[in-house]
Structure 1
Amino acid sequence: MLPFLCITALAAFASSLALMLAGAASPAAAAHIAFAAGILPLIFGAMMHFVPVLTRSGAPATTMGRLPLVLLAAGLLAAAAFLQPAWFNPLIHAGASLALLAALAMAAWIVRRGRAALGAPHPGLRWYLAAVACLALALASVLAMPALPSQHAALRLVHLHLNTLGFVGLTALGTLAVLLPTAAGKPDPTAAGWLKRQLPLALAGVLLIAGGVAWWPPAAYLGALLLFVPVALLGTAWMARFPGEILRLHGAATSLALALAGLLVLLSFAVLHAQRRLAGGDAILGFLLAFLLPLVTGAVSQLLPVWLRPGVQSGWHHAARERLGRFAVLRGLTFVVAGWLVASGWRPGAWLAVVGLAVFVAQALPVAARR
């Protein structure tokens, strides 16, 4: 399942980039292809992998394990809505309704796993639950738009920020705190404490940004500051503990660290968006390029070998990670710089991301073929 979701996510990213550069679709259409049909199903699949680890429990039941496919179907409906304007309302509401049901099912499953855990569950579990709650609120805002036409624009902004900074951002931060030390090959004894202490700040920041951009910009400024604190603390902790690992030319840790750097700068763009000095379409595409692409390629570099060959780690896993992480710093920089350029309004900068994504696909194909 997870290798398939990786393929669909990369295909969605590539399609989104192609449509954006060709001018064949609106920024909203390109963003929904990448997010709804690509990253959201992949995140659900990754949660299915990590939640049993965080709760020291078994694999999900077969029915629950198919939930990412439900979200993929919902994402395809949402993407189709933007590509077929005549059918926009029925398609977008069908997709949002289906995704909301999937989000509620995921939240209930996380809660059940947490309660049934042997001992206290890992604090990263709460980050996943908060992220899924943000997703549910984002989807509910879409379904509320017809009933509140005067708030349509505001609800759209709530939907946008709860999806990106809420669902994607909180999931990513909760995972990165554990995944980067794993990729670096060194334990981080402070990761659990950071996860416990920083979730309230991060969640409050996300909610204030979403509400502030929609209704009262000063709240968005405070939210950006609150969210900046845990992100900056995580980054400085990494620089202190893993300088050699995150500054090297190769390796998944480098790509993951670059994703965090991309997010730090993009938080300032959230403030500009709240001031209406930055186009929303450019900001969302910048988020996709500067944060999601280095994040996904870094995570896949570390995890794809395990997903392809579960079980005891062997020389093949080590060789696969080496291939996937080769020149990660150069590849990651193309994504981050491309995202900053696009977020600033220069969309041809996305060609840098095309180069980086093509390199990663070329690295990943031999690994998948030799599984």
Structure 2
Amino acid sequence: MKRSNYFLIAALCSFNMAAYSQTIPVGFKNAKSKMFKDVPDRIIQKDFIKEDGTIEHKKIDVKTDYSTISEDLQNTADSLRRDANQKFSDGIGLLGKPKNIGQLRAYEINLETLEDQRELALKDAKYFEKRSKAYDYLNRTSGTFKKFPVRNAVDAEMYYNGFVKDTRAKFLSNTLFSFSSDGGKASLFNEIYVDYFGPIRIGLGAMISNKQSIEGQETVENKEEKSQDAIQRLLGGGGNGVLSASYPLFNVDNGRGFAIKFGVVPKLAVDIPKIGTENKEYGLNYNLGAEGTIFYSGENDIITFFSNFRFARISGNNVFFNNLEKDDKKSFGFNQISFGLAFSSTFRLSYNHYFGSEFVNKNFPGAISFTIIPN
């Protein structure tokens, strides 16, 4: 293991803290710094007619004109797609008709080559089209309040990340280390996969806990331990396995580092029994809620002040309530608000306050947390 990794783990453990938890991480980096690196500087001159009828000449940096950039990139994508299809069609015409098995095999090899060439060209077209949609998103949302800002998968990626990726999302991209002050419990939660289905973001996560209660013992101490384990898992992400869906409702962006994001984010979580035990019961809970983020980033995107908040109602099966030692087995309000400081959007230090029903107010005290969200 590299020395830097040892340092990272040591820094995490030194906090000895409770979980950061519920909200989906949003990238704080300035979208412009990510998007503009692929667009050359272009200074153009435009004529403006003043009120007195005279013409004023102004130099305009079109890097600030998202609409123009989006249109240019889309035109390039359309041109590449037309050329690819035309070359494929012309190639098919030149292949001729196979008249025997030998010619058929050669025909299929040449056809496969044409298909590969078209696929590569269409990938280039898709690249330009994706960038075009990203700039269209900036054009619609920058410097304004926008209801239902997300129309497609590219919009959703821009909303959550602030930029679009040219490759698939990385495996183990959002990692949450949670440490509690009770009994040295710790958990690691990670969104293993994230994908976008139109405007909806789908995340699949898993959690590992370093300490669980001993099965088969029903002592008072073990019940308390079991309850604390369940609370830790609920704070650390929801359960051993978590499926989340999210849809943005509105976005506020002043174009200078300040933004507010808010959307509905229901979650479904399951607690699978530990392998090797006789226990075959699994806990299931569903978390119906809405959440948002408010943040303000500095000019260099190094330091960000942020607040996360989530308002939710949680319910589940009997095993879920039994693990929590919640005898009435009724759903309960579980809300969270966090205030913190982020460094380069990756390292986040925050104070988390949980509130809602009497059960939550009693069992979920405020905590300091440190979160790592690798980029």
Q: Judge same fold: TM > 0.5, yes or no.
A: no
Structure having the larger proportion of residues in strand: 2
Structure having the larger proportion of residues in helix: 1
Structure number with bigger Rg: 2
Question: Greater RCO between the two (CA within 8 Å, min separation 6)?
Answer: 2
TM-score by length of 1: 0.27
